[in-house]
Structure 1
């Protein structure tokens, strides 16, 4: 069965032994990076740090066996961790046994959704989340994630929940009672992480701040001065267990499970395709869903929180020389060794350092350039980004992406309801027809209106089209013929056919005839089924505008 789930060109079937050194090196580097990240992201999700380490073992192996990307580094990521916290914290107290049980059930649900989508070839569904929506959502979520770590950075309790503005206001009010040692450790870690990220991006800076801060806390007994530390991290590999579930818990978790499934997959497929294009191989979106889904399902049986492919780790994996999924398997094995023998070393690790790792990672996701880019090219897309951004900040993670998707869908409907149309004129020098509003040398006919429609026709845009045609015809007293250029009409529905027929018959009684040119095959098939061939004959069968306009070629006037 496993072989049937694997892509035909899987790396296992064609593994080159010369890749072993590169894969081992990449696996080691990513493991060093992932250990502190996994613990930090688990803390962000409201889970014990060890859950993040569990999520960095079995799921990585399953994805490496079933996924189509050779370099994608799967594991806990900030966005998904925040979504887990956002969805599960409404049902149970973060960190509690019930919270952990819900999180593991969430992994199973996310995996089931993704695996089902992959097996049924439904990867195209995520395309309905536009880039503007994802960019706005990601930027807002990055702010929410980053500021949610203020309590660990400042060493104090903060009120305000997930609302960024209330959180900042409470932090400002409590500025006088912060733990300055904790703050110094956190800020110092941020400075070190940013410095190495800019100057030496391949250096495992997270490991440096983890080791350095742990030694400082241990030798100076800083936990006695109020510095919050990780303390006990259970050792050993995760045991097999079935996530507890009920109909009520599944119903309550379904909205957040769907959100994680889509958002996690989009983050994963975006970076996977980027790397694949550089390496000149193909990533299959449905196979990616299968791999991620299976990873989450199997992971849920071994106490793993939901996972997906991460931007930063994948970039590091690729830059470190990863050639295949073996690099991820090596990463998982090294983390298993850490769980077996080295968890005691994390006892004195400050929570402020994990908060710093999260902040540096997520604030890099805030994309101001993309907002400027969208506003420069098309303002409507820029406003969708802004709406999604503020909706996510002011409401919730789930509601924000739904509002953004809704705004994007409404924009699409509006554009399709008011399509672009153009009156065409003839440019003799080039023997071509062009929009008269864009080409001053395009000549119009005295008795003929040439009108191009640049969209498929359906019930929602026929009223607009009819209004545009009536206006154009009424503005030209001498018109006795209308030629519709259907070169941009890829589809037409029954309602549009009926309404267009009524319009043509109405103008025929007024002495104005309609002709159609450039009608595409699928559209012509529908027109013939509607009886247009018998009713209008050759008037709907002109292959070119030249044919349709042959009787009027000598009667130009300049607009």
Structure 2
């Protein structure tokens, strides 16, 4: 005969386990860094120390090729982007060298390259247009304001990284980033069309207005287009033709794929050099009256070296635009670094990446730089060129410095229309593809609408308003989903695997709303027991919503413990509907009385004061309804702090000594005893007497899995349901 439950419970208690209670001291010990963690923190601030001592010739060759390739791309791009920022083109060169050099020591991505980018440059141009009218002393030196903002933004972003708050980037979802990129690309491209066509100098034409106004004004002033349109349109067409041709030839002749890759990569430099040569041939004798718009004088060397000027008037004037600039710096850089890390099978440290771009923006202005971040197009070039380490950025930076001293005479003849073509061609890659947008719709229609809201606001208002729209709408959607989370009443089904006959119990919603087969008959818990599964975190935003749904269903399916709790009609509350006559009753006596509630906490990671107080209120409400102490069982609690909070509220233990708890025990090995007379464990337990099975139980060391002083905190649903049934039997 099998050993009795009393015997098993006795041994579980003898080999008992009492869980240590969570304490504030332990919490402080967990969050305060140890000496070794402080040393490790200091070491991780400079990741170069973990790889540079292993540097080799093969890495150097890959970095040289990638660094040279990126430098050829960054020189024309940086000058074009500086124009977006309403700064002279050479400030783009000043901003292109220090960031990539400093990143070598502080960054964790081998692919990303830091420098001027289209979106940040456009946003900086909008900021300067907004604040310069209030700062007339800087009208002729806008780079002073740009450099001051760079230092401020760098300090903020670096501070986020040093405090290890990089996780905040995860609160910005993909649709918000995609909308920001797409809206920015449309805004930038439309803003460059007038320069491309040569009518940007038309009377009263402001290319810094909202995108839709620039679009309309372009057609109003289309009669002012001139010879610049011929250069711009042909340059843009040539850029797309080379890209298409390189891709086609790469597929047609895969043996020459690397050659066609470099043709594709160097197309920007080739087009710039070709049209610069044409410009020189046409304009070298017309310095005072060139046939088309060119850059003009570019100073040789660094003319703006010095300590950045940061004043209270600059900060007060630009304070309202700083949050959007921080968001742009962070999300553009981190999203690029993460995506290339996934492609090339390594991980980046978001906190360290913030430190890297923060330091770049702090020290760059000492050489005249304006805010910089990671560039998608140049990072793609860097990756495809075979970069091996971040040292490739040092090579790029050195070449940019050489060009600042060696190329001003050549850069003088660069066409502004061709630079506009380069910008339009570059930002085209930022537009979200129709396939991706279609995927948004299939995955989450709400986020699909958020994407289009961000794009629309960017086009009809400004880039930073588009950022605020998408981030705000995404946050509101997240809070709504949390606040409106609803649990499910679950029941039991017996299942087995197709590969074996072993059977087990699983618990699924009674209404099959999880997509389970409706043909499966779900067995509800015994009368008076309810199993409620919380599918989200149980915190103050959704606590009431969870329990209102649960209490409403329980009261609807059970009868009160007292059939006439009010005594007379006059004592019934005004808001409690009931019979009009004393002899009538609205109580359905066929319904069971409430005895136990089982809460599935496997989806709950934390609780707070509000949610626990809500549980207390609900317990009192159900106790009054049942006219007895309803037992509360909890399954799958993950955190000692959650258990501590529930214990403080009085949950976890039965009320009354007569109630017999149910434990789950585990075998942790054999006790070492020299007793050869005990039966072998491998013997069939059904053929042994109770005395012999007790001997086996003594030989096998079994211990409770959960703390024995809180028997209403269960390891799984089977144990909880057994405990609830056990109480019904008492």
TM-score, structure 1 normalization: 0.92
Higher helix fraction: Structure 1 or Structure 2?
Answer: 1
C-alpha contact (below 8 Å) 2:307/2:366 kept by paired residues: yes
Question: Does structure 1 residue 411 correspond to structure 2 residue 583?
Answer: no
Question: Does structure 1 residue 423 correspond to structure 2 residue 503?
Answer: no
C-alpha contact (below 8 Å) 2:486/2:546 kept by paired residues: no
CA 1:460–1:290: 2 relative to 1, 3 Å: closer
Distance in 2 separating the partners of 1:392 and 1:185: 29
Map of 1:161 onto structure 2? 208
Map of 1:472 onto structure 2? 553
Map of 1:113 onto structure 2? 156
Partner SS for 2:186:
helix
Question: Does structure 1 residue 228 correspond to structure 2 residue 290?
Answer: no
Shift of 1:374: 1.8
Shift of 1:146: 0.9
Distance in 1 separating the partners of 2:48 and 2:214: 50
Match of 1:453 among 509, 534, 539: 534
Partner SS for 1:428:
strand
Map of 1:522 onto structure 2? 641
Identify which range, 410-419 or 424-433, moves more after superposition. Answer: 424-433
Distance in 2 separating the partners of 1:417 and 1:69: 38
Unaligned runs of 5+ in 2: 1-38, 247-260, 497-504, 559-590, 662-710
Distance in 1 separating the partners of 2:347 and 2:396: 24
CA 1:514–1:373: 2 relative to 1, 3 Å: farther
C-alpha contact (below 8 Å) 2:126/2:208 kept by paired residues: no
Off by >6 Å, runs of 4+ in structure 1:
1-4, 551-554
Partner SS for 2:371:
coil
Shift of 1:141: 1.0
Match of 2:186 among 125, 143, 146: 143
Question: Does structure 1 residue 178 correspond to structure 2 residue 225?
Answer: yes
Distance in 2 separating the partners of 1:414 and 1:125: 19
Question: Does structure 1 residue 433 correspond to structure 2 residue 511?
Answer: no
Distance in 1 separating the partners of 2:544 and 2:413: 70
1:252-267 equivalences under 5 Å are 252-267=317-332
C-alpha contact (below 8 Å) 2:283/2:291 kept by paired residues: no
Distance in 2 separating the partners of 1:21 and 1:502: 70
Map of 1:497 onto structure 2? 612
Map of 1:197 onto structure 2? 243
| Cα distance per residue 1:34-84 (max 9 Å; x no partner) | 111011101111111100011112222122222222222111111110111
Map of 2:650 onto structure 1? 531
Map of 1:217 onto structure 2? 279
TM-score, structure 2 normalization: 0.71
1:39-54 equivalences under 5 Å are 39-54=79-94
Q: Which of 1 and 2 has greater Rg?
A: 2
Question: Does structure 1 residue 339 correspond to structure 2 residue 404?
Answer: yes
CA 1:13–1:259: 2 relative to 1, 3 Å: farther
Distance in 2 separating the partners of 1:57 and 1:315: 18
CA 1:302–1:536: 2 relative to 1, 3 Å: farther
Shift of 1:330: 1.2
| Cα distance per residue 1:518-541 (max 9 Å; x no partner) | 141432211111223467586842
Shift of 1:553: 7.5
Distance in 2 separating the partners of 1:118 and 1:548: 45
Distance in 2 separating the partners of 1:149 and 1:279: 34
Question: Does structure 1 residue 550 correspond to structure 2 residue 725?
Answer: no
Question: Does structure 1 residue 444 correspond to structure 2 residue 524?
Answer: yes
CA 1:102–1:551: 2 relative to 1, 3 Å: closer
Shift of 1:4: 8.0
Distance in 2 separating the partners of 1:132 and 1:265: 16
Partner SS for 1:427:
strand
1:87-126 equivalences under 5 Å are 87-92=127-132, 96-126=139-169
C-alpha contact (below 8 Å) 2:491/2:523 kept by paired residues: yes
Map of 1:24 onto structure 2? 64
Question: Does structure 1 residue 33 correspond to structure 2 residue 95?
Answer: no
Distance in 2 separating the partners of 1:168 and 1:343: 34
Shift of 1:8: 6.1
CA 1:464–1:163: 2 relative to 1, 3 Å: same
Distance in 1 separating the partners of 2:539 and 2:408: 63
C-alpha contact (below 8 Å) 2:268/2:422 kept by paired residues: yes
Distance in 2 separating the partners of 1:532 and 1:475: 24
Map of 1:557 onto structure 2? none
C-alpha contact (below 8 Å) 2:211/2:461 kept by paired residues: no
Distance in 2 separating the partners of 1:326 and 1:449: 63
| Cα distance per residue 1:287-314 (max 9 Å; x no partner) | 2122211111111000011111111111
C-alpha contact (below 8 Å) 1:11/1:325 kept by paired residues: no
Identify which range, 545-554 or 155-164, moves more after superposition. Answer: 545-554
Identify which range, 112-121 or 514-523, moves more after superposition. Answer: 514-523
Shift of 1:161: 2.9
Unaligned runs of 5+ in 1: 555-559
C-alpha contact (below 8 Å) 1:46/1:85 kept by paired residues: yes
Partner SS for 1:424:
strand
Distance in 2 separating the partners of 1:540 and 1:299: 61
1:350-429 equivalences under 5 Å are 350-367=415-432, 368-429=434-495
The alignment's C-alpha RMSD in Å is 2.6
Distance in 1 separating the partners of 2:297 and 2:618: 78
Distance in 2 separating the partners of 1:172 and 1:3: 58
Identify which range, 234-243 or 223-232, moves more after superposition. Answer: 223-232
